[in-house]
Structure 1
Amino acid sequence: MSSNDSKPSWEIKAEEKRASTLAKIPSEWRLSPEDLELAAKQHDLTGPFIQKFLDPQTISIVTTDSLDLVEHITDGQLTALQVTTAFCKTAAIAHQINNCLHEIFFVQALERAKFLDDLYEKNGKPLGLLHGLPVSLKDQFHVKGVDTTMGYVGWIGSNLGITDPKDAHKIESQITADLLSQGAVLYCKTSLPQTLLFGETINNVIGCTLNPISRNLSCGGSSGGEGALLALRGSTLGVGTDIGGSVRIPAAFCGVFSLKPTPERITYRDMANTNPGQNTYRSTVGFLSSSLGGLDLALRAAMAARPWLRDPAVVPIPYRQDVVDDILSRGPLKIGVFWTDGIVEPHPPIRRGVKILAEAVSKAGHKVVDWNPPSHKPGRDIHLEFLLADGAHDVHSHLERSGEPLIPALKEGFRLRDPMPLLQYQDLTIQGLAYEIKYSDYWNSTVQDDGQIVDAVIMPVAPHAAVVPGRYFYTGYTETINLLNYSAAVIPVTRADKAVDVVDTAYKPVSELDKDNWDSYDPELYHGGPVGLQIVARKFEEEKVLAIAKIVYAALQTSRTKP
């Protein structure tokens, strides 16, 4: 009897998918068994380790950020083909050592890069703002000729969410088309968790994606593969989604930058999604990057395509340079600091990170005030009820296609149950709006202290640094911001340090949930874990929050150079 005879058909299908993905990596980019064994024993796969497998030109290219890469292509220092080859190779290595890709379409990408080089030579001008820049995608975005499984075995060989099987591999998400219209090169799709609604990245198709900076820790979720790939420099600009923290959590955990826009700012048309009929508090397309400049470039490119003309859900707001100019030329900003939500206390590395950033901003001459908004508990609770309002019927419909089970961490939360009744759903909508109003009223009240309203708020992304797998107990720091539909950017601040971030024995947890989180802190395990923080502005303030993030990050950099 063969080894496969005892395995369920879904497991065989997943194995075949993993093998076919690896087979798409050119032989010259394949690692030896000895190299793979070495990687498996390595704590930190980033920087010097992954660069062992890269040539000097590739290293030079992939360690350059998005804006500079586009500039080098358009001024003739590099070709799109050279840049694309470098990122395809690095992504191939990254996947072999850290299991972060769902889809590889390097051949398609290299053909696209050659086309862009020929077009540039012929016309003497770039196709758009992203001309020649490789852009990675979370496996929710449809690309012609490529699977979109969204982590479900049942969608292997097709595209999740299509209504007619004959349309498999023919559809294209609008954001995908918009990026291509601006000259992007698409080359891979990255891993995500089963259901999307999980703060770690694990599914039955490829298994688990860990944090390449510290293999003791998670890369976060649900755009976890994007965070991991960026940390390994297999990308400088990735596209993800966020309904409960899904671009912010991986950015914070993997030491990179992200932007969560307000829903309806970026097109979501023709995308795969979980429970797509839940539109009261929508998921939003967001970006992750190795730099703030990359995030700004992505927003500019997305707006340059005027997405509202094809997607009626998008609010017609072009990129607003005047907002950026106003923030950058203004006097001192007024920044709120949210130290704790009082529900789950941040671990010592996060406490220290908030303090570092608050002091840096203050030393740069800006006003720093404590942020004491309405309790985040109602916001988090209401948001969570919306996420589970369909009784997990959408999730189970995808599982049934193959017979795969829920991963262990999700078995209880996504057990099948009756959907929320309509009248209860409507009442919950009213509660959500009331909470938004209450929070907005508090924000407006901050003008009363000194005549200046708070511009943005610094707050944790999670109550811990990049988390120990299985110990992500609380997502309230991100979910409440989704309920408010606020704009948010994430910046890396520091790393957990066992010598500094010692256990605070004086702290007494306020609940069982708080105790579970507090007891999970182990300075040894968390040592080296990235600490990223979010900077939060109000609805449709994407340009403002990016400009403020630039100022705040510059203050942080300056503070590091001074005694």
Structure 2
Amino acid sequence: MLVPKDSWKAKAEKKTSETLAKIAPEWRLSEIELAKAAKQRDLTGAFFDHYLEAQEIDIIRQDATCIVGKVQRGELSAMETTLAFCKAAAIAHQINNCLHEIFFSQAIERAKELDEYYKEKGKTMGPLHGLPISLKDQFHVEGNDTTMGYIGWIDTYEGRKDKELIHKVNSQVVSELLSLGAVLYCKTSLPQTLLLGETVNNLIGQTLNPNNQNLSCGGSSGGEGALQALRGSVVGFGTDIGGSLRIPAAFNGIFSLKPTHTRLSYRDVANVIPGETTYASTVGVMGTSLEAIHLVFRSIVLTQPWLRDPNVVPMPWREDRVEETISRAAGDGKANDNKPLKLGILWTDGVVTPQPPIARGLRLVVDAVKSVGHQVVEWKPPDQQTAKRVHLAFLKADGGHDIHRQLDLSGEPLVAPLRETFRLKDPMSLLTYQSLTIEGRDYEAKYSDYWNSTADDDGQLVDAVIMPVAPHAAVIPGKFYHTAYTEVINLMDYSVVVIPVTKANKSIDKADPNYTPLNDVDAKNWKAYDAEIYDGAPVGVQIVARKFEEEKIWAIGKIVHGILKTAGIQ
């Protein structure tokens, strides 16, 4: 049965109107206020706070660990916390278009239950008691839609009209968070198909960067990054198959942890091309602090998720590895003379050279780390173009059939940035698929051998590698030409933390007029740099460790970020 081509627009408008209607009247902004926000370059900080009361500002500006501590001591109720974050999220969505699903009433009922539990038992339900946590719109939450940006998924279960499933499923991660006492209150925007480094779909349009509305918030966990930049959330969950946690974290000036993909459960989480598991998507955490990420990630792992999801590796949280790594630096980050950190630095992948703000951010990190006694060595791995080519081939292996099957449910078209990449084609042959699998396997082995070779000179392996997340700070919409800096790491399935470093500065980050581009893509990226437009955009870096080194890379991220703070950079 053919779907009328224009009907998807009506469905999208109806859905977005229903979402806005879930915002309490007293939290709705006037047309004048919305117009003022649209003209504002930076929506964060003081501009955002003027919509809130002093007590609400005090709550949303606290770290997640501080919030749960106050709730545990009875200094703050789950209800007070929930109302503050629901209001902040409501404001964030109205001025930044960053939510797909709003379930504030559900959250308020949950907060009420948690406060009653605390009053009756004199203790909290778990380590996340009363902590509001946001979710990328891939996670199923009972009672709510999961559209994943597809119009045809509205009021369905992943496009299926199965009454036994529609609005009746919780993703395993969601059930685990609820068991730990968390409050869930909204789901954040993402790009159509998930396979885009920006956030745009036919449901709500585009989500921009609240730090600088000239730029994109990144993708695919873009709405999550934008919401946290505005403090409508302090911690949330996203996914990453090619950079989808790391790109929005770096673009929005927050933190993220991308684990090896079998560390957290993907059970009952919606996905694009779900049958492609050779280079699988991973569930990870984004937060406004590393402490928030530690709290939530550790709490989830302590529930033993492998008992409920056989695809999760049975690996408990190893706090001893955190402590061992942290012990390699003093409180101010100064190296332990017995075993300083040994970090690699990848300045460029040799294909697309980072623009001036990213190059400066890398230098700031390297100089700060070296100044306190840690070792930094040049990182020159096997040609990363191979990994990029293999990884992208797997994302396109089905010829776009899964994507077009979802689009055909409503008749909606592919959004403009994806029309050429995912136009319908014949699927890749099995023999080609298997050949690429071998090529990817061999590249992983070469990369591992290279990493092992870093101990040849001094007997110490490189602990982690500092590298760009993208060749630009955030990105001018439509000008994200090179995603290899993150995609390559997905092929290895390594553990990665992203930390903010600085902000683009038009007075410092000048383009070199004599720069000779390496190739056509590099030329496009260099031409796209405009110091005035990028001014104020967050600059972050990713720090990469090997598989299943989540504890170690989190601790290294904490050391490096602490060094930057001590040096006055952060």
Using structure 1 for the length normalisation, give the TM-score: 0.98
User: Corresponding residue for 2:290?
Assistant: 292
User: Which of 382, 388, 393 is residue 390 of structure 2 equivalent to?
Assistant: 382
Contact 1:248 / 1:260 at 8 angstroms: preserved in 2?
Answer: yes
Question: C-alpha offsets along residues 500-542 of structure 1, whole Å, 9 cap, x if unaligned?
Answer: 1111122211111111111111111111111010000000000
The answer to whether the 8 A contact 1:349-1:497 is kept is: yes
Please tell me the residue identity of whatever aligns with 1:128. Answer: G
Contact 1:109/1:185, CA 8 A, preserved across alignment: yes
CA RMSD of aligned residues (A): 1.2
Counterpart check, 1:340 vs 2:348: yes
Assess if the C-alpha contact under 8 Å between 1:142 and 1:159 holds in 2. no
Give distance in 1, aligned partners of 2:158 and 2:64.
30
1:155 aligns with 2:153: yes
Give me the whole-angstrom Cα distance separating, in 2, the residues matched to 1:407 and 1:204. 7
**2:209 counterpart of 1:211:** yes
Match of 2:310 in 1: 312
Question: Residue type matched to 1:119 in 2?
Answer: Y
- CA distance in 2 between counterparts of 1:75 and 1:549 reads 29
User: Residue type matched to 1:310 in 2?
Assistant: R
Q: Find out whether 1:486 has 2:494 as its counterpart.
A: yes
Residue 161 of structure 1, CA deviation: 5.7
The offset of 1:166, in angstroms, is 3.5
What's the counterpart of residue 524 of structure 2? 516
Structure 2 counterparts to residues 348-363 of structure 1, below 5 A = 348-363=356-371
AA at the equivalent of 1:249: I
- Could you tell me which of 319, 327, 330 is aligned with 1:329? 327
Partner Cα distance (2:443, 2:178) in 1:
39
Gaps of 5+ in 2: 329-335
Q: CA separation in 1, counterparts of 2:486 and 2:557?
A: 17
Distance 1:158 1:184 in 2: 26
Query: Is the counterpart of residue 88 in structure 1 residue 86 in structure 2?
Result: yes
The 8 Å contact of residues 156 and 162 in structure 2, kept in 1 or not, is answered as no
Counterpart of 1:246 in structure 2 is 244
Letter in 2 for 1:373: P
Query: C-alpha separation between the residues in 1 aligned to 2:389 and 2:320?
Result: 37
In structure 1, the partner of 2:480 is: 472
Equivalent in 437, 449, 459 of residue 441 of structure 1:
449
Contact 2:43 2:211 in 1 (8 A): yes
Kept in 1: contact 2:5–2:411 (CA 8 A): no
Q: Is the 8 A contact 2:397 2:427 kept in 1?
A: yes
| Aligned position for 1:3 | none
State which of 88, 108, 111 in structure 2 corresponds to 1:110: 108
**C-alpha separation between the residues in 1 aligned to 2:457 and 2:473?**
33
- Measure, in 1, the Cα distance between the counterparts of 2:351 and 2:411: 38
Mapped partners of 2:125, 2:433: distance in 1:
46
Task: Tell whether the 8 Å contact from 1:488 to 1:542 is kept in structure 2 after alignment.
Answer: yes
Q: What is the match of residue 333 of structure 2?
A: none
**Alpha carbons of structure 1 residues 399 and 165: separation in structure 2 relative to 1, 3 Å:** farther
Q: AA paired with 2:368? A: A
Q: How does 1:127-206 map to 2 (within 5 A)?
A: 127-160=125-158, 164-206=162-204
Q: Report the CA distance between 1:158 and its aligned residue.
A: 2.1
Contact conserved, 1:349 with 1:501, CA < 8 A, in 2? Answer: yes
Q: Residues 527 and 237 of structure 1: is their aligned pair in 2 closer, same or farther, counting only changes over 3 Å?
A: same
- Alignment TM-score, normalising by the size of structure 2: 0.96
Partner of 2:464: 456
Give the aligned residue type for 2:137: D
Amino acid at match of 1:271: V
**Count of residues in Structure 1 that have an aligned counterpart in Structure 2:** 557
Match of 1:424 in 2: 432
SS of the residue corresponding to residue 414 of structure 1 reads coil
Q: Is the 8 A contact 2:501 2:569 kept in 1?
A: no
Query: Shift of residue 163 of structure 1?
Result: 7.5
* Aligned partner of residue 128 in structure 1, secondary structure: coil
Identity of aligned residues (%): 60
The counterpart of 1:533, out of the listed 511, 527, 541, is: 541
- Once residues 124 and 390 of structure 2 are traced to their aligned partners in structure 1, the CA distance between those partners, rounded to angstroms, is 46
